[in-house]
Amino acid sequence: MQIIRHSEQTLKTALISKNPVLVSQYEKLDAGEQRLMNEAFQPASNLFGPITLHSPSDWITSHPEAPQDFEQFFSDPYRKTPSPNKRSIYIQSIGDILKFLKKKKPEDAFCVVGITMIDLYPRDSWNFVFGQASLTDGVGIFSFARYGSDFYSMRYEGKVKKLKKTSSSDYSIFDNYYIPEITSVLLLRSCKTLTHEIGHIFGLRHCQWLACLMQGSNHLEEADRRPLNLCPICLRKLQCAIGFSTVERYKALVRWIDDESSDTPGATPEHSCEDNGNLPKPVEAFKEWKEWIIKCLAVLQK
């Protein structure tokens, strides 16, 4: 295992910047938010740790790219931010990909994110991706396909005998396709990928500073190691993009975990389509993350 450990000064510069304007902006955050974000460059922090690489197939090794600090994020001329007229995030269940989403994007949408059970890969040289997003078009896509516990034991070869050209609204080719059991692990994995892709749409690139939601992942094991939370550098980027109180954000996340019911009706293999009641929300896998949020709130509210 390899540990990527940056110096205290490197992380401090990545978070705060040496630009006087951005330093001043940082100093205007409330004391609790500064205290939490400063954990980024505390060597003994138990909230934010270094990135660990477990194999040559991990993302940073397989897909080298330049890191993005806060100043680079802030100065990116192509970064888009929400506006009063474009401030909604739409989640669209689809069987097609980014061009479809771009065409279907509502007028008030900041972004549209598609979800699908079809396995995704952007080009023949890639084995698969969990998700993909277009920063400039405000659209993204992610797949649940590999998140079910039995995905790798199922077999689908031979389903399509020859290439078929169908209309963009005809998804009959995917009838009876794989539907996983809805478990807390599947929900946790899906939340990670969905929020990671939306982070890209807000202009956050892959994180190479600390263990973070915005790390890339090249396989399921690496995706599972990635935390659901943002590191302080990426948290500051998101706060700059949309504006929020970190305390209120974390309190809302705890409420979401504690709310036992699902927000929307759903279906599992054990539930028929006629069952329209809200399903219990499986959150057992979120226990560790909830404990982490509570620790952060303690730092924020000292």
For 235, the domain range is 30-79+207-260+281-301
Give domain status of residue 269, yes or no. Answer: no
Q: Which of 197, 248, 270, 274 is catalytic?
A: 197
In whole angstroms, give the CA distance from residue 79 to residue 242. 12
- Please check whether residues 52 and 117 belong to one and the same domain: no
Contact 263, 233 (CB under 8 A): no
Considering the domain boundaries, does residue 35 fall inside one? yes
Same-domain check for residues 57 and 69:
yes
Number of domains comprising the chain: 2
Tell me, yes or no, whether 213 lies in a domain.
yes
- The question of whether 197 is a catalytic residue gets the answer yes
- Shared domain for 74 and 146, answered yes or no, is no
Report pLDDT digits (tens) over 63-96: 888 999 999 999 999 888 888 888 888 775 554 4
- Give the tens place of pLDDT for each residue, 209-233: 999 999 988 888 888 899 999 999 9
One domain, residues 236 and 289: yes
Read off the tokens for 34: 């500064």
- Are residue 72 and residue 215 in the same domain, yes or no? yes
Judged on CB neighbours under 10 Å (0-12, 13-18, 19+), 78 is: exposed
What are the pLDDT digits (tens) for 149-200? 666 666 554 455 565 666 655 656 556 665 667 788 888 988 898 888 889 8
Burial-class residue 177 by CB neighbours within 10 Å (0-12, 13-18, 19+): middle
Distance CA 61, CA 52 (A): 11
Q: What is the pLDDT of residues 234-260, one digit of tens each?
A: 999 999 999 999 999 999 999 999 986
Residues 104 and 120 both lie in one domain: yes
Q: Do 88 and 192 sit in the same domain of this protein?
A: yes
Check whether 283 has a pLDDT greater than 60: yes
Dihedral, CA of residue 158, residue 162, residue 166 and residue 172, to nearest 10: -20
The span from the CA of 27 to the CA of 5, in Å, is 26
| Cα 276 from Cα 31, distance rounded (Å) | 46
Whether residues 88 and 115 fall in one domain = yes
pLDDT at residue 78, as a whole number? 87
pLDDT of residue 267: 35
Residue 275 lies in a domain: no
Q: How confident is the model at residue 271 (pLDDT cuts 50, 70, 90)?
A: very low
pTM of the entire predicted model: 0.77
Q: Say whether both 134 and 192 belong to one domain.
A: yes
Mark whether 112 and 182 lie in a shared domain: yes
* Same domain membership, residue 150 and residue 42: no
Per the domain annotation, does 271 fall within a domain?
A: no
Q: How many percent of the chain have pLDDT more than 90?
A: 41
Note whether residue 268 is domain-resident: no
| In the predicted structure, residue 140 carries a pLDDT above the cut 80 | no
